[in-house]
Structure 1
Amino acid sequence: MPNQETVDVLVIGSGMGGATFSAGLAPSGAKILILERGERLLDSEAARDARAIFQRGVFRPRESWLDGAGQAFNPGNYYYVGGNTKLYGAVLIRNRAQDFEPISYREGTTTGWPFNYDELEPWYTRAEKLFRVRGAQDFDRTEPRHSAPYPFGPVPDEPAIAKVRERMTRVGLNPFPLPLGLDLDKWLKRAKTPWDAFPDTGCGKMDAESCGVNEALRHPNVELRTNARVERLLVEPDGKRIAGAEVVANGERQKIAARFVVLAAGAVNSAALLLRSREGGLANRSDAVGRHFMNHNCSAVLSIDPVTVNDSIYQKTLGINDFYLDDGKGGPPLGNIQLLGRVTAPILKTSLRLAPEWTLGLMSRRTVDWYAMSEDLPNPESRVTVEGGQIRLDWKRSNWAAHAGLVKAFRERLRAAGYPIVLSQPFDRRTPSHQCGTVRVGLDPSTSPLDPFCRAFDHPNLFVVDASFLPTSAAVNPSLTIAAQALRVADHVAKHDL
């Protein structure tokens, strides 16, 4: 591509994978250009307004995808510098060591990873330092080995949540402090709200922008370009290497050449970009690009004690893994439980539109809000495709029996702990509950698009470092695992390619 802009490394997407990779590679001196289709998320009154966020959806994207039946829906994916982490719950937890091995569930067995936990552990430690994680060990029996302690102590329980912790302990559970990327004082100084599902506008949440992008931009060899949407990747005439990308930036179409292209647009959009870049898709010798889409099985669980007031503001400090390695009785695993951010009346009204907000407020004051999460198993028929330029997401939900068992087991413990009313509601496809798996890593190029360092088997200068690479979803939040792998890949590129 003569007379075109040329960079050493073109990073497509500024979410957890792209931002962390850029921060890791920046000290190498390579000329890095980060492209983000959205803009920086600026502070506004809506950023701490639950009605604006949940009822009016002011931060949701203005686009639609098709589901497996061809019906349009509005996805809950966010296009800002920092990607989906701008509104994430800031839970930065490691996969358990067992998650890297095949796991047998009621409905099937996972494939395992092409490397074990110990291979990734040093980069977990580096990622926790980069994202300034608050946490504590020795509370969770499933916690894997750490080579260093958490950088900071845990975010404190509020008094009402300290009592919840005591109630959980009395019924035989082992609550642990959630590892969180959050400066609590800075967050609450802006406004006394939860952070879970509230957008970060530079007010204390450790997200891909505040810790990844901003760290990368401290180096003069890194540039961030916003409002730049990649239309397709370009291939050299021999088809072996990626030449660069065709980009529409601020309404103008241009081509950017690159020695290396790092794709990090999200598990759905990265797969879609590879599929629409060439007939049959790029990096797709295996016919696996877009396949094995996974999205955690998740439910909100509301425990109600009519005689106890929950006056917490943020709430989200506890996790429970007593059902993670087995069902608590020696049977197959069920999943993870953690507190949600405080669910107030304006948030409840999103699902209960006919109920007056004041009655929902009475209910909310006596409710503790939980998040139940179970692994979704890889299935080649659960997939992303592109039809006439539009994304089609045909999610084949799996392992639902385990999730139903998790909700049932936890419901029993909640009632034993003194919550006579327990309600639950599954999350639907509008909520991107940790989408992953569409361009997965593996050892065999006939079954996986990427090698264990996220390099495309078909194109040695193409890497994919977002949640697409995950070969299994595990049953914990994936953000820290994505960050750790991005740092590992950045180190590999710096050592072997630059």
Structure 2
Amino acid sequence: MSPDIVIIGSGMGGASVAAGLADTGASILMLERGQQLLETPEVHDPAAVFGSGYFMPNETWLDAGGRGFTPGNHYNIGGNSKFYGAVLIRYREEDFAELEHENGISPAWPFGYDEIAPWYDAAERLYNVRGTVGEDPTDPPRSDGYPFPALPHEPAIADVKERLAKTGLHPFSLPLGVDIDTWMANRETTFDGFPDTRSGKMDAETCGLAQARKNPNFELKSNARVTRLEADPTGRINVVHARVDGEDFRVTPRLVILSAGAIQSAALLLASGVANRSDQVGRNYMNHNASAIIGIDPRYKNNSRYQKTFGVNDYYLSDGAGGFPLGNIQLLGRVTGDILRGQVKAVPGFMLDWISRHAIDFYGITEDLPDPESRVVLDGDQIRLHWKRTNMGPHRRLVRAFSRKLKQAGFPVVLSRLFDAAVPSHQCGTVRMGDDPAKAPLRPDCRAYDHPNLYVVDAGCLPTSAAVNPALTVAALGLRAARIIQKEELAS
């Protein structure tokens, strides 16, 4: 096969590029190693999603010490977005400039916020984002409002939002990609963490690929695992090798867009021995420092169903007292007793049910800074993840600062738990873009310095992790890359 373009991976990056190229009529072949999620009993079952690992991949990665673990990485049409919390929030304007943190510098991007702002607008339209302008004091400038109004806060959640506002915080409506009426008509669960089967969540499949399929020359092959990229003597990637339904498959495209996710994209480039003249492929791996923060009040009754509708950015740019940035706080999806049973096995079920009825659940995120020794490497055929956490002091202070606010808001007991390396849901930075080919594998347009027809468009290209969910930024970069490809590659 010799299509114009091969896209490897159907997650937020690959789907958004394909959507941006839909009106070109270019022949596009998308290769996805997973299959489509089906409407089965397991997609509704907390034990399957959070306890038994039913949707986890059948593979083992190694940590820095050589110990094996099952990664929380999902392979299916739509990628990890099928399980995401649908928070589609922009990086702050300050995130694109050099920003000092307690543990070092978050470096400047090769372009500023003004360059990506119109692509954020386009991504919000493509993914039907719901939100409210003006509530978040850290909001970056924007040319227009959100495509749809913010999701309504359920009464129990509106009560907590009001309590926190009285402590001096500025809770804001999370920008979300969820048609909540459609979701709740089909589900009793929250949308956060539960797999979507085309029932209300705006993700890479339901939005990006839906647009891509308007191109009559678009084809998606599932159960197609790419094994190697091959370059010719001029540096062009001229062959993509894969296994499709267990059979060897070979394709010779004009352009290759790698969107397999930050870890798998780096692993494929390393296995292929390409795009690494800088020796930076796999390096600068970042994954947010993140903790669950649960406030408990015996007098409070949490009868919400989906819960995840507001966040707090008062600690985003400083600690509130002139100190370094701490990060973002946002609600988790409704954490029921059944979900807790999958995570906390030593506590009796009736106690977990009681906690859930009287608790409010948050997610604290602190930026992880790039470090060349924090990296993805290959150990034979296995991925080995050497994650060097940064900014843990600020993360602990974020948890403490918000815990104090929760107590002021009437939740006398506050518990927290740090997420570990087995949850790479915000993985990024492994194939970063930059101005200097000695320090970055990619140009600012996401094209490889070493290979003129190779683009990497997923969270691997992000120079920094910021302290908010990366999905919208990946989608914006995908649409931007599509326009560049359309003008510079397909027009010639």
Q: TM-score, normalised by structure 1?
A: 0.98
| 8 A Cα contact 2:63 2:386, kept in partner | yes
The residue aligned with 2:160 is 164
Q: Distance in 1 between matches of 2:139 and 2:242?
A: 43
Greater displacement, 289-298 / 243-252: 243-252
Alignment size in residue pairs: 490
| 8 A Cα contact 2:16 2:478, kept in partner | yes
Q: Which amino acid aligns with 2:48?
A: A
The residue aligned with 2:200 is 204
The residue aligned with 2:94 is 98
State which of 40, 53, 77 in structure 1 corresponds to 2:49: 53
Q: Distance in 2 between matches of 1:352 and 1:296?
A: 22
State which of 371, 377, 399 in structure 2 corresponds to 1:385: 377
Q: Distance in 1 between matches of 2:300 and 2:61?
A: 43
Trace 1:356-371 onto structure 2 (pairs within 5 A): 356-371=348-363
Trace 1:39-438 onto structure 2 (pairs within 5 A): 39-236=35-232, 238-278=233-273, 282-438=274-430
| 8 A Cα contact 1:244 1:261, kept in partner | no
Q: Distance in 2 between matches of 1:269 and 1:239?
A: 25
| 8 A Cα contact 1:415 1:422, kept in partner | yes
Q: Distance in 2 between matches of 1:404 and 1:34?
A: 42
Q: Which amino acid aligns with 1:267?
A: A
Q: Distance in 2 between matches of 1:357 and 1:385?
A: 40
The residue aligned with 1:23 is 19
Q: Distance in 2 between matches of 1:414 and 1:481?
A: 30
The residue aligned with 1:443 is 435
| 8 A Cα contact 2:286 2:387, kept in partner | yes
| 8 A Cα contact 2:52 2:342, kept in partner | no
Q: Distance in 2 between matches of 1:195 and 1:114?
A: 35
Deviation digits for residues 39-93 of structure 1 (CA, Å, limit 9, x no counterpart):
0111111111111211111111111100000010000000000000000000000
Confirm whether residue 495 of structure 1 aligns to residue 490 of structure 2: no
Deviation digits for residues 1-42 of structure 1 (CA, Å, limit 9, x no counterpart):
xxxx11100000000000000010121111000100000111
- The SS at the match of 2:282 is coil
- The SS at the match of 1:254 is strand
Q: Distance in 1 between matches of 2:380 and 2:114?
A: 44
| 8 A Cα contact 1:455 1:464, kept in partner | yes
Deviation at 1:191? 1.6
| 8 A Cα contact 2:50 2:343, kept in partner | no
Deviation at 1:486? 0.5
Q: Which amino acid aligns with 1:139?
A: E
Q: Distance in 2 between matches of 1:432 and 1:472?
A: 15
Confirm whether residue 457 of structure 1 aligns to residue 457 of structure 2: no
Deviation at 1:323? 0.2
| 8 A Cα contact 1:26 1:32, kept in partner | no
- The SS at the match of 2:398 is helix
Deviation at 1:463? 0.1
Deviation digits for residues 101-123 of structure 1 (CA, Å, limit 9, x no counterpart):
11111111111100000100000
Q: Which amino acid aligns with 2:116?
A: L
Confirm whether residue 9 of structure 1 aligns to residue 1 of structure 2: no
| 8 A Cα contact 1:55 1:346, kept in partner | no
| 8 A Cα contact 2:73 2:425, kept in partner | no
| 8 A Cα contact 1:46 1:53, kept in partner | yes
Q: Distance in 1 between matches of 2:480 and 2:345?
A: 46
Q: Distance in 2 between matches of 1:268 and 1:472?
A: 15
State which of 443, 464, 473 in structure 2 corresponds to 1:481: 473
Deviation at 1:354? 2.0
| 8 A Cα contact 1:232 1:246, kept in partner | yes
| 8 A Cα contact 2:97 2:108, kept in partner | yes
Q: Distance in 2 between matches of 1:217 and 1:59?
A: 26
- The SS at the match of 1:112 is coil
- The SS at the match of 1:128 is helix
Q: Which amino acid aligns with 2:464?
A: T
Name the Cα RMSD after superposition. Answer: 0.7
Deviation at 1:429? 1.3
Deviation at 1:239? 4.7
| 8 A Cα contact 1:129 1:151, kept in partner | yes
Deviation digits for residues 446-473 of structure 1 (CA, Å, limit 9, x no counterpart):
0000000000000010000000000000
Deviation at 1:351? 2.7
Q: Distance in 1 between matches of 2:355 and 2:31?
A: 45
Q: Distance in 2 between matches of 1:433 and 1:9?
A: 27
Deviation at 1:489? 0.5
Q: Distance in 2 between matches of 1:235 and 1:254?
A: 17
Deviation digits for residues 280-319 of structure 1 (CA, Å, limit 9, x no counterpart):
xx11111000000000000000001111111111100011
- The SS at the match of 1:248 is strand
| 8 A Cα contact 1:48 1:191, kept in partner | yes
**Structure 2: runs of 5 or more not aligned:** none
Deviation at 1:348? 1.2
| 8 A Cα contact 1:291 1:438, kept in partner | yes
Deviation at 1:350? 2.3
| 8 A Cα contact 2:80 2:425, kept in partner | no
Deviation at 1:356? 1.9
- The SS at the match of 1:7 is coil
- The SS at the match of 1:210 is helix
- The SS at the match of 2:361 is strand
